[in-house]
DNA sequence: CATTGTGAACGGATTCACAGCC
DNA sequence: GGCTGTGAATCCGTTCACAATG
């Protein structure tokens, strides 16, 4: 089904298409053109067609894309056709927020464990908060591949080593630190401080331009 | 000071450099080469030099960059040399997490207001949670430019319109929806669901390749 | 002589333009 | 006729290679 390996830039947009399709299907829209998808996503229509064409010819010339069909294809491409088991490590405010949000609204993933250094935290949605010593056995038993990491920066590398040693291959890292991981492990940094600072750059961009020629 | 306008790709990396410099200065390191910065950030040394050179010649040939001097320059370039006022709209779990984190650890920004649709929420760090009807007057009085938006997707566009109407020019959007904003407003999407799904793509990439030639 | 700063070469991603098809 | 799928052209960002210099 999939050709070569898809460029990062394409992969980043796939979940956006999926989200739009979910909305369209909820509104009983059955056919969608790349032009309309373009309006909904903000990407150009050509780009959308190219992105989808990477994985196959899913549309009908002269008509557009069947929303349900395309959704099925995307689910399969992204790997969401079967539920993905996920753990959250670090049960501070951010960890809680992520757990609650994904346990509730995100139908495609399944948070099966939350961990924190200190015991006694009360869980969410029937999930017990386990202490870190339970982690290795848990990961190996459940064969979890994906982790959201919300521990403090000081602890992040040590925890990461533990995760990787026990089979994790993808980490959504919220700690403001570059994680060292082996080749086969994929890390996506979601450092909110950094993103906020980038935003501030743009918030004062106009002023800056007045100062200079 | 600034030349043309800096590419997005460059701006995205500036806060990372700043973070590293803060750490180095804390450890009393006074000089740093692009090579060492490269190890700390994961970007190539050439890229780092190019990035910095966009804004001026801050280094010393044969020696490297003075950490404190470079930090000052970066603060000014990003716009963090003066405290930036920020509001948080939507005081659910994510809103709370962001407020607490940035009120505590992020020395460069100043959260001066948090808002929520429903009244009676207890604030954080001396911040009262205000209801949405207080928002217009507050924004105009305080001249806030930057907002973090953590309201539900259904409310996000309406709230955005209100923010923009009252002077906000940069929005960190956590709602899984494309916000329509005027030209001069900068939106950065931090849709955690989307990012998690991208991660899942990579977590099962190996498997996928086994299925296909 | 180590390291910055930068033009030139390269490569990847986006846009253009249109052929192919329903 | 309208919309997809795609080679060609273009744009943009990264890497290379080296000249400039403290």
Q: What local confidence, expressed as pLDDT, does residue B1 receive?
A: 43
Indicate the pLDDT class of residue A205, thresholds 50, 70 and 90.
confident
Which one of B18, B42, B196 has the shortest CB-CB distance to A172? B196
Mean pLDDT over A3-28 rounds to 94
Pair A181, A164: CB distance under 8 Å: yes
How far is residue A202 from each of residues A71, B9, B84, B189, measured CA to CA in Å?
35, 13, 12, 14
Instruction: Give B53's contacts (C-beta < 8 A, 6+ positions apart).
Output: none
The token pair at B211 is 């299925």
Q: Which of A113, A93, A19, A190 is nearest to B92 (CA)?
A: A93
Q: Angle at CA B153, nearest 5°, toward A91 and A84?
A: 50
Q: Do B197 and A100 touch (CB under 8 A)?
A: no
Domains in chain A: boundaries? 8-77, 84-195
Q: Do B212 and A1 touch (CB under 8 A)?
A: yes
Q: What fold characterizes domain B84-195?
A: Rossmann fold (3.40.50)
The minimum CA-CA distance between A56 and chain B, rounded to whole Å, is 13
Instruction: Indicate yes or no: strand D within 7 A of the C-beta of B46.
Output: yes
Q: Choose the mutation target among B90, B110, B200 for the interface with A, i.e. most A CBs under 10 Å.
A: B200
* Model pLDDT for residues B134-154, shown as the tens digit of each residue: 999 999 999 999 999 999 999
How far is residue A114 from each of residues A2, A95, A105, A147, A171, measured CA to CA in Å?
33, 8, 17, 10, 14
- On the 0-12 / 13-18 / 19+ scale of CB atoms within 10 A, A76 is middle
Q: For domain B8-78, say whether CATH 3.40.30.10 is its number.
A: no
* Model pLDDT for residues A146-170, shown as the tens digit of each residue: 999 999 999 999 999 999 999 999 9
Distance B50 CA to C2 C1' (A): 18
Q: Which of B142, B84, B141, B136 is nearest to B108 (CA)?
A: B84
Instruction: Give A58's contacts (C-beta < 8 A, 6+ positions apart).
Output: A52, A65, A69, A70, A73
One fold for B8-78 and B84-195: no
3-state helix, strand, coil in chain B (%, to 5): 50, 20, 35
Indicate the pLDDT class of residue A119, thresholds 50, 70 and 90.
confident
Asked whether residue A122 carries a pLDDT value surpassing 80, the answer given is no
CATH of A8-77, one of 1.20.58.1030, 3.30.479.10, 1.10.10.10, 3.90.1300.10: 1.10.10.10
Q: What local confidence, expressed as pLDDT, does residue A192 receive?
A: 94
Q: What's the mean pLDDT when you consider all of chain B? A: 93
Alpha helices in chain B (DSSP H): 8-26, 34-41, 45-53, 67-78, 93-104, 135-142, 153-165, 192-203, 205-211
- The tally of CA atoms less than 13 A away on the side-chain side of residue A155 is 14
How far is residue B48 from each of residues A159, A178, B8, B55, B58, measured CA to CA in Å?
29, 16, 14, 12, 12
d(CA B86, CA B83): 9
* Model pLDDT for residues A80-101, shown as the tens digit of each residue: 999 999 999 999 989 999 999 8
Q: Angle at CA A167, nearest 5°, toward A132 and B43?
A: 95
The SS3 of residue A170 is strand
Q: How many residue contacts between A and B have a Cβ separation below 8 Å?
A: 194
């Amino acid at each position: 089904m999939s050709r070569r390996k898809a460029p990062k830039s394409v992969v980043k947009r796939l979940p956006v298409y999926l989200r739009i399709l979910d909305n369209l299907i909820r509104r009983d829209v059955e056919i969608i053109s790349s032009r309309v998808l373009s309006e909904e996503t903000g990407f150009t229509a050509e780009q959308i067609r190219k992105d989808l064409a990477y994985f196959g010819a899913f549309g009908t010339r002269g008509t557009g894309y069947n929303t349900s069909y395309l959704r099925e294809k995307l689910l399969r491409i992204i790997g969401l056709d079967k539920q993905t088991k996920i753990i959250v490590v670090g049960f501070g405010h951010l960890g809680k927020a992520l757990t609650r949000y994904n346990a509730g609204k995100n139908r495609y993933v399944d948070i099966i464990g939350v961990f924190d250094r200190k015991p006694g935290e009360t869980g969410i949605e029937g999930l017990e908060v386990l202490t870190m010593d339970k982690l290795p056995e848990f990961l190996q038993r459940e064969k979890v591949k994906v982790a959201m990491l919300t521990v403090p920066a000081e602890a992040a590398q040590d925890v990461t080593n533990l995760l990787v040693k026990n089979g994790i291959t993808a980490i959504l890292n919220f700690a403001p630190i570059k994680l060292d991981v082996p080749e086969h492990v994929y890390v996506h940094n979601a450092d909110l401080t950094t993103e906020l600072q980038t935003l501030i750059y743009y918030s004062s961009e106009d002023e800056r331009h007045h100062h200079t020629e």
